[in-house]
Amino acid sequence: MAADMWTLKGKTALITGATRGIGRAVVDELASLGAKVYFAARGVEEVRDREAEWRAAGGDVTGIVADLADADGRRMLMETDALDVGSLNCLVNNVGTNLRKPAVRYSSGEFQSLLSSNLESAFHLCQLSLEAMKDRDSSIVNVASVAGLTHLCTGAPYAMTKAAMIQMTRNLAVEWARFGIRVNAVAPWYIDTPLAREVLADPAYRSAVIDRTPMARVGLAREVGSVVAFLCMPAASYVTGQCLAVDGGFSVNGLQVSGRP
């Protein structure tokens, strides 16, 4: 019985933005734990390449090309014959992007693009998935950020979307508990992904990030993937409405003086 709590066999998952970074690590983890996995991203070649890799490794993985920043793209994803919506009981909203600049320099179009990619896409996919996931011990995991918990120099719109995603998680967790759907979020700090590497290539900035991280290192994508997998498992069956920071202690780091307890 205990072993059944720590597996995803018999589960079907959909992960968005899954060809790189955290999304790719989530697919790795869920597929290795026995889930049937569908993943979606925009790049045709990347989707096909990743699908081939996961299948060669023995995973039951299917890739779907879709632009999830667009409402029509999200509807097409949920309506395509390539996705067995009726079997879906895990949804991981990972797709997102960022544009770093001072608040006064964002155009209306840039703001709307970030809002659509990072927040509206997750909310809409939750809406579109509800009927399929009802009364099936389902789990939704939203990939937020510590930027939604505290100030970071990531740009205000990105932080706003992640903070809203965390609150969306809480609201849906309460509203949909009666349907047997758990809704949680993870909030990563700097993780070793292609996107983060661009910022961390600046030695001074990387040093500042590590100095603020009690565990004194940048996180790994698989360390986020494993937390997402836990939240999808029966082992987390009484966990809902939570935001788990995967941040090496960054979000709780106050004042620590060397040599003092």
Q: Strands, E, within the chain: which ranges? A: 12-16, 36-41, 61-65, 90-93, 138-143, 181-188, 243-246
| Edge-first strand listing for the sheet containing 12-16 | 61-65, 36-41, 12-16, 90-93, 138-143, 181-188, 243-246
Q: Active site residue: 38, 106, 158, 238, which one?
A: 158
The two beta strands, 138-143 and 90-93, are: parallel
The three-point CA angle 1-36-179 to 5° equals: 70
158 catalytic? Reply is yes
The three-point CA angle 124-128-131 to 5° equals: 145
CA 199 to CA 222: how far, in whole Å?
Answer: 20
Tokens of 81: 């014959």
Cβ-contact 24, 221 below 8 angstroms: yes
In eight-state DSSP terms, residue 192 is S
Which residues are designated catalytic?
Answer: 158
